[in-house]
Amino acid sequence: MSDAVRIVEVGPRDGLQNEPNPVASKDKIELINQLAACGLTHIEATSFVNPRWVPQLADAGAVMDGIRRSAGVTYSVLVPNLKGMQAALQHAADEVAVFAAASEAFSQKNINCSIEESFARFAPIVDLAQENAIPVRGYVSTITDCPYAGAVAPQAVVEVVERLLDLGCYEVSLGDTLGKAKPDQIESLLELLLKRVPAQALAGHFHDTSGQALDNIELCLAAGLRTFDASIGGLGGCPYAPGAQGNVATEAVCQAMADWGFETGVDLERLTQVSVFARQIVSAQQD
Ligand code: HMG
Ligand code: MG
């Protein structure tokens, strides 16, 4: 099995969407440029969502227009509906991500519709993406626990993953939105999922509230997954998942991969410097 691991850097999106202090567009742009210079090949740069819901990313267009596009780097964005997809095209996103949930309650709080309705919104996104040869990635949130409804049945996750793949997503990222998933929960979820979908079609997206994200990633690696989302400096969380901490830090994941003998292609020394910059820009307003 391959020892190459792909890291999807989600800090500029998942990290910055939850910051209480405003971050200047020019700092976001600089962060994204610096991340690309570390050798990260996939950067989720922002979201084209309703700015009243996520004011932190209201400058999505300006950020996409302002970044320096490095060859070989995919700059992706989150889109909840056709309006977001149209904006993504207008601002030259290389890839888009749609985001569903395995919990009805989370779907309602996060995107103001049921799981069924969310798939009706995704269909025209995928059509337009395919017309423009834009790959579509999928997310399934709340893979073990929902902040509003408690425990989530693994079968509900499997159903959403299969629907996202059937819709045309090339990969589905498994979102531990609260960051509280225990390794035994991840192990049994993977066992169920891998009976239905190949490991290459799955990615791990672990927030790190309980400090078990790296343990969960190690389990995913053993099960054959080779794509992991991470956020520089461990920034962020979801505004609609109260109490959740940021994604596992990119620098921690890349260090762990090196320790475990996996290749990420990322310059760790440079990444550590960028994590300092990332923390500076989110705390700049507090000084
Ligand atoms: P809604 O209010 O139901 O939408 O929101 P609507 O269709 O009724 O439209 C209402 C207004 O929003 C209209 O404007 C639309 O034009 C506007 P008005 O006429 O009132 O002036 N609007 C938009 N504006 C800009 N861009 C758009 C857009 N769509 C509508 N794309 C909606 C529905 C989905 C838009 C809203 O609920 C929303 O934006 N939600 C986003 C929530 C979000 O971003 N959450 C965080 C990301 S998910 C996450 O973090 C989890 C993840 O990391 C994985 C994990 O950890 O589990 C991915
Ligand atoms: Mg997330």
pLDDT of residue 286: 45
Compute the distance between CA of residue 281 and CA of residue 231 in angstroms, rounded to an integer.
14
pLDDT of residue 240: 85
- Looking at ligand 1, which residue's alpha carbon is closest to its atom 19? 50
Residues whose Cβ atom is located within 5 A of ion ligand 2: 14
Q: Which of 16, 49, 108, 139 to mutate to test the pocket of ligand 1 (most atoms within 8 A of CB)?
A: 49
pLDDT at 224 over 90: yes
Query: 194 and 161 in contact (C-beta within 8 Å)?
Result: no
* Ligand 1 contacts CB of residue 48 (under 6 A): yes
- Any domain includes 1: no
pLDDT tens, residue by residue, 234-254: 998 778 888 888 999 999 999
From residue 8, how far is each of 31, 74, 96, 147, 159 by CA, in Å?
A: 15, 9, 13, 25, 24
Compute the distance between CA of residue 77 and CA of residue 91 in angstroms, rounded to an integer.
10
pLDDT at 285 over 60: no
Which active-site residues does the annotation give?
A: 238
Which ligand approaches the C-alpha of residue 173 most closely?
1
pLDDT at 53 over 80: yes
pLDDT tens, residue by residue, 121-174: 999 999 999 999 999 999 999 999 999 999 999 999 999 999 999 999 999 999
From residue 152, how far is each of 93, 141, 184, 189 by CA, in Å?
A: 33, 10, 14, 11
Token pair in block for residue 161 = 């993953």
pLDDT tens, residue by residue, 9-48: 999 999 999 998 889 999 999 999 999 999 999 999 999 9
* Ligand 1 contacts CB of residue 240 (under 6 A): yes
pLDDT of residue 135: 98
The rounded percent of the chain whose pLDDT value lies above 70 is 99
Q: Higher-confidence residue: 77 or 243?
A: 77
pLDDT tens, residue by residue, 161-215: 999 999 999 999 999 999 999 999 999 999 999 999 999 999 999 999 999 999 9
Distance of CA 81 to the CA centre of its chain: 17
Q: For the chain, how many structural domains are there in total? A: 1
pLDDT of residue 210: 94
pLDDT of residue 287: 44
Query: 44 and 10 in contact (C-beta within 8 Å)?
Result: yes
Record the pTM: 0.97
Residue 13 is given by DSSP the state I
**Amino acid (one-letter) located at 245:** Q
* Ligand 1 atom nearest to 111, measured from its CA: 37
CB count in 10 Å sphere of residue 25: 17
- Looking at ligand 1, which residue's alpha carbon is closest to its atom 30? 50
Using the mean position of ligand 2's atoms as its centre, give its distance from the Cα of residue 245 in Å.
Answer: 9
Rg (C-alpha) for the chain, rounded Å, is: 17
pLDDT of residue 241: 86
User: Which CATH number fits the domain that encloses residue 236?
Assistant: 3.20.20.70
Q: Which domain holds residue 196?
A: 6-286
pLDDT at 61 over 50: yes
